Amino acid sequence: MLFAIPALISQGLEKFFKVFNPLPAGFYGLHHVILILGFMYLCRIKNPEQLKKHPPGELGKLLGLDRIPEVGYFRKKLKQIIAQSKADELHAELFHSWVEEMPEMFFYIDGHVRVYHGEQANLPKRYVSREKLCLSGTTEFWVNDQQGLPLMVLTGELNEKIKNAIEEIIPKILKEINRKVKPDEPIFTIVVDREAYDPAWFKKLWDDYSIAVITYRKNVKDEWDRSLFYNTETRIFNTNVTMQLCEMGTELKGHWFREIRRLSENGHQTSIMTTHPSLSLQNTAVKMFSRWSQENFFKYMIDNFDFDRMVEYGTEPVDQKRTIPNPDYKKLSYQIKKAREKKSRLQARVFQQMEDNDAGDIDQLMKTLIKNSSLIEKINDHTDEINALLAKRKNQPSRISIADMPQEQRYNKLKQESKKLKNAIIMLVYRAESALYNIMSEFYKSNDKEGRVILKEIFTSDADMIPDYENKKLTIKLHSMSTPRANQAVKQLCAFLNQTETCFPFTDLRLVYETVAV
């Protein structure tokens, strides 16, 4: 795990020690707790209770101690950090440091639903695409860069739409971006899925903030002439790709946009629209199709870091003045919809039988109506039911405040401070792992397939720690890996890490990396 120390420091480990105050006097300090959390996620130890399955003495040596704290005491130290309520400040510090290193101001924004199966919180339901169900949960809106590296996360309180989340995220991004742009150039560009599709809103973002948007166009019904498309060479995820592209202007809700379409081999035309005035045709397509890096990020975090696990139990109140769709109004609307569907199905049966018979013959028509009198009676019953429901719904407001909800149904939210701390830790760890992964790509040919697997093996492999206090060195000698090619990759990685001349946090011992493999 000590192989990740230089990467952790480069990605902002010291921000944690800058933001949080030192813990009360005790054997374990703030830096011990933060390093343990980082080491836990590097080794895929997903919660403090799983530390019981690992030798406390071996993990303690990674901190220069005889052992790590017992789980109950470790939880106590975590609560002391959480009680400082500085997670938002920490996220702002990390975001500022990461944005400064970005070569291009393209931000990928998408929501991820943390499903809640408990009983303490009363959360609104929302559609979870991976489950294909409407479930109770909390939505986190993540901001990533083009490579899928996380930059920021905003936790929704209730059923916020992604548009509302973006409007909250924009001021936070603008606060940290200090760059001069030409009059016709955007300050930054948002890349988002169809969920946020609203042409008038896109135009407003450009007019008010000079923020460009790239997204897929919805409800495309026309097809462009295939002869207009031409082959374009481009590069996506370090892979050369040839795409058939075409660009035209299009008017949507009274506003003009750039529209780019890609013609697939099966003839399907994928439509992309943007308000960016100068981004080239192929780069616009690359930026949009790179959105899969964020989907891959979500999948990797779920598989490796127990992304959705609750850190702390308990609930907090939400703003009581906040308005939400009235649950009773929605329930009545649903009942009206179902009643209308039943009525329509019965009417279709009657009309079909009337068409099957000779509708021009009055006698035959009367016989058909008499024969279906029971169906007609049911249709009338549904009509009465619909009218009654409509009258009842008329007396209900479509939106109400949280305070107007019945006490037993009133929405609240899960405690957020502990989850924000966890998000900060896993963002740091993922970025550190990705930094090492990118370094290995320079000398390891199979890095795309095996790079992260080798890194996980490094993090969990045995090593010798040899402190040299006279020469102020701490030598980390890694034991042999599972394959010769992995050992060769580790040698190259050791050479690179030694060039950084990184010192172990809060010591003057310079880390020296070696491997026993020949």
- Predicted pLDDT at 357: 63
What residue type is 127 in one-letter code? Answer: Y
Secondary structure element (H or E) that encloses residue 65, with its range = none
Q: Mean of the pLDDT values across residues 89-97?
A: 95
CB atoms near residue 375 (< 10 Å): 15
Sign of CA dihedral 45, 138, 88, 110: positive
Give residue 368's pLDDT band: very low, low, confident or very high (50, 70, 90): low
Taking the chain, what is the end-to-end CA distance rounded to the nearest angstrom? 21
Tokens of residue 324, six digits: 């939400």
Strand partners, 241: 234
Tokens of residue 170, six digits: 């924009």
Q: What is the DSSP letter of 502?
A: P
- Predicted pLDDT at 366: 66
Quote the mean pLDDT of the chain: 90
Q: What is the pLDDT of residues 424-473, one digit of tens each?
A: 999 999 999 999 999 999 998 888 889 999 999 999 999 999 999 999 99
- Predicted pLDDT at 344: 92
Q: How far is residue 268's CA from residue 270's CA, in Å, rounded to a whole number?
A: 6
Buried b / exposed e along 298-309 (16+ C-beta atoms within 10 A): bebbeebbbbbe
Strands (E), 421-472: 463-468
Q: What is the pLDDT of residues 322-347, one digit of tens each?
A: 888 888 899 999 999 999 999 999 88
- Predicted pLDDT at 360: 57
Q: Which residues contact 111 (CB under 8 A, 6 or more apart)?
A: 139, 140, 141, 142, 156, 162, 165, 195
Judge whether 307 and 301 are in contact, CB under 8 Å.
yes
- Least Cα distance to 414 among 191, 190, 136, 141 occurs for 136
Percent of the chain with pLDDT over 70: 96
Q: How far is residue 58's CA from residue 68's CA, in Å, rounded to a whole number?
A: 9
Q: Mean of the pLDDT values across residues 82-95?
A: 95
Is the pLDDT score of 244 beyond 90? yes
Q: What is the DSSP letter of 503?
A: B
Burial class (CB in 10 A: 0-12, 13-18, 19+), 39: buried
Give residue 364's pLDDT band: very low, low, confident or very high (50, 70, 90): low
Weakest mean pLDDT among 198-202, 239-243, 306-310:
306-310
Give residue 363's pLDDT band: very low, low, confident or very high (50, 70, 90): low
DSSP SS3 for 346: helix
Q: Mean of the pLDDT values across residues 476-483?
A: 93
Give residue 369's pLDDT band: very low, low, confident or very high (50, 70, 90): low
Q: What is the pLDDT of residues 77-86, one digit of tens each?
A: 999 999 999 9
Is the pLDDT score of 44 beyond 60? yes
Strand partners, 465: 476
Weakest mean pLDDT among 246-255, 364-373, 433-442, 474-483:
364-373
Give residue 183's pLDDT band: very low, low, confident or very high (50, 70, 90): confident
Phi, psi (5° rounding) for residue 332?
-65, -40
DSSP of 110-145: EEEEEE---SS----EEEETTTTEEEEEEEEEEEE-
